[in-house]
Copies of this chain bind each other. A is one copy, B any other.
Amino acid sequence: MRGFFYASYALPAFYGGGLSYNPDMVDTQFIIKARWVIPMDADQTLLEQHAILVDGGQIRAIVPKTEIPEWAADWAVVDCSQHAVIPGLINLHAHSSMNLLKGYADDYALMPWLNEHIWPAEQRWVSKSFVHDGSLLACAEMLSGGVTTFNDMYFFPQATIEAVKRAGMRVQVGLVITEFPTNYAATASDYIRLGTDVRDQYKSDEHISFAFAPHAPYTVSNQTFEYIATLAEQLNLGIHTHLHETQAEIQQSLEQFGVRPLQRLLALGVIGPNTVLAHGVHLETNELETLSIQGAHIAHCPCSNLKLASGVAPVAAALRAGVNVGLGTDGAASNNRIDLWQEIRTAALLAKVADQNAASLPAYQALEMATIRAARALGLQEKVGSITVGKQADLVAVKLDDLNSLPCFDPISHLVYVASREQVTQTWVNGQLCYQRTPDGQMQFAQMEVEELRSIALQWQLKMQS
Contact = CB atoms under 8 A, between A and B. Distances in A.
B409 A137 contact: no
Interface stretch (A43-51, A108-116, A198-206): A108-116
A124 interface: no
A100 B309 contact: no
Contact of A306 (B337, B349, B453): B349
A140 B100 CA distance: 35
Nearest to A411: B103
A420 interface: yes
Please tell me the size bucket of the interface on A. Answer: 35 or more
A461 B144 contact: no
A306 B352 contact: yes
B363 A107 contact: yes
Given A305-B353, A353-B309, A403 B141 contact: yes
Given A107-B362, A311-B353, A353-B311, A457 B406 contact: yes
B110 A358 contact: yes
A102 B418 CA distance: 9
B403 A308 contact: no
Given A349-B307, A350-B306, A406 B461 contact: yes
A168 to B, nearest CB: 16
A360 B107 CA distance: 7
Contact of A407 (B338, B418, B457): B457
A268 interface: no
Most buried by B among A312, A420, A450, A458: A420
Nearest to A437: B441
A232 B102 CA distance: 48
B307 A358 contact: yes
Given A103-B408, A309-B352, A353-B305, A413 B336 contact: yes
Nearest to A358: B309
A86 to B, nearest CB: 16
A461 B408 contact: yes
A443 B403 contact: yes
Nearest to A404: B141
A103 B413 contact: yes
A357 interface: yes
A109 B422 CA distance: 30
Given A337-B404, A359-B108, A440-B441, A353 B420 contact: no
B106 A417 contact: yes
A397 to B, nearest CB: 16
Contacts of A441: 439-442
Interface of A: 100, 102-104, 106-110, 113, 137, 140-141, 144, 303, 305-312, 335-339, 346, 349-350, 352-353, 355-360, 362-363, 401, 403-404, 406-410, 413-414, 417-418, 420-422, 439-443, 450, 453-454, 457-458, 460-461, 464-465
4 smallest beta-carbon distances between A and B, as pairs: A441-B441, A407-B461, A406-B457, A440-B440
